Amino acid sequence: TRPGRDELLEIAVEVARQAADTARRMRADGVSGISTKSTATDVVTAADRAVEREAVATLRAARPGDAVLGEEYGGADGTGPGGDAGVRWILDPIDGTVNYLYGLPHYAVSLAAEVDGEVVAGVVRNAVTGDEWTAIRGGGAYRAGERLRSSTETDLGKALVATGFGYDPARRAHQAGVLAELIPHVRDIRRFGVASIDLCLAAEGSVDVYYEKGLNLWDHAAGGLIATESGLRVDGLAGAGPGPDLVIAAPPALFGPLHDHLARLDAAGGP
């Protein structure tokens, strides 16, 4: 039998809070075990690994048969469609690792629950401030008990746009080129360094739209659901769905104009 969405969100929130506490506590003692992953700027720390290990252990204790996809270890069964109950957990133990490294109070735990391949519940928790965004598919998105309403802006020229950059130098150059062409058409740009929180800021209307190329599923699974449930349209180019090529989250009236700029600028292309 399939578990209820409320039950999955409850577990997700409990695990995210524990993970956030561990990340914050470890940061108070300084940063240790720093190494690089895909490129010299793609950093991982002992905390990323420790938080993921702890969170996976808690998930396994709560729901032993489920699959887990985590940023740092992948998880032996993380690529499958889900365990016995069709459930797969998608975890970024520390999203915003560079902020973490520098002690900027802006990094998050992102955890989503997928059932039969569809994300049905998700939580993003800022590990320092405790800000916590949640959503259940079909049940709305919330922060501190308040239902989230995304921006109602209709003029792209007045839209505040959040985005981010990958770690590969050639990709970053392409992304910067796209941004240089986009800036004249929008109000301004923000780069906070945490894709999951970017999506939540769009969900609560603190920015109008968000887009990024090159995200991994753990960066956008939970935040994407929260953005969708706040009223945003979350998709890729030409209806391809949000994915590694591009994630766009925008109010319905801004989605088309932003999408068309990004398509014209080949935002999903390049390395």
Least Å distance, CB 106 to ligand IPD, is 10
Establish if 193 lies at the interface with ligand IPD (CB under 6 A). Answer: yes
State which residue, 83 or 244, has the beta carbon closest to ligand IPD.
244
Q: Is 194 in the site for ligand IPD (CB under 6 A)?
A: yes
Does position 219 bind ligand IPD by CB under 6 A?
yes
Cβ distance 252 to 210 under 8 Å? no
Binding status of residue 45 toward ligand IPD by CB under 6 A = no
> Which stretch in 26-34, 137-145, 159-167, 263-271 sits in contact with ligand IPD by CB under 6 A?
159-167
What does the H/E/C string look like for the chain?
A: CCCCHHHHHHHHHHHHHHHHHHHHHHHHCCCCCCEECCCCCCEECHHHHHHHHHHHHHHHHHCCCCEEEECCCECCCCCCCCCCCCEEEEEEEEECHHHHHHCCCCCEEEEEEEECCEEEEEEEEECCCCCEEEEECCCCEEECCEECCCCCCCCHHHCEEEECCCCCHHHHHHHHHHHHHHHHHCCEEECCCCHHHHHHHHHCCCCCEEEECCCCHHHHHHHHHHHHHCCCEEECHHHCCCCCCCEEEECHHHHHHHHHHHHHCCCCCCC
> Is 165 a residue that touches ligand IPD (CB under 6 A)?
yes
Question: Which residue is closest to ligand IPD by CB?
Answer: 164
Of 206, 32, 37, 224, the residue nearest 141 (C-alpha): 224
CB 267 to ligand IPD: min, Å: 14
> Given candidates 45, 97, 134, 230, which one binds ligand IPD under the rule CB under 6 A?
97
Q: Is 72 in the site for ligand IPD (CB under 6 A)?
A: no
CB 200 → ligand IPD: shortest distance, Å? Answer: 12
Please report how close the Cβ of residue 164 comes to ligand IPD at its closest, in angstroms.
Answer: 2
Place of tokens 């501190």: 144
Binders of ligand IPD among 12-41, rule CB under 6 A? Answer: none
Asked whether position 134 contacts ligand IPD by CB under 6 A, the answer is no
The site for ligand IPD, by CB under 6 A, has a size of 15
Q: Which is nearer to ligand IPD, 75 or 166 (CB)?
A: 166
Backbone φ and ψ of 111, nearest 5°: -140, 125
| 247 in contact with ligand IPD (CB under 6 A) | no
Residue from 166, 205, 223, 251 touching ligand IPD (CB under 6 A): that is 166
Query: Considering the rule CB under 6 A, would residue 95 count as an interface residue with ligand IPD?
Result: yes
Binding residues (CB under 6 A) for ligand IPD: these are 71, 92, 95-97, 164-166, 193-195, 212, 214-215, 219
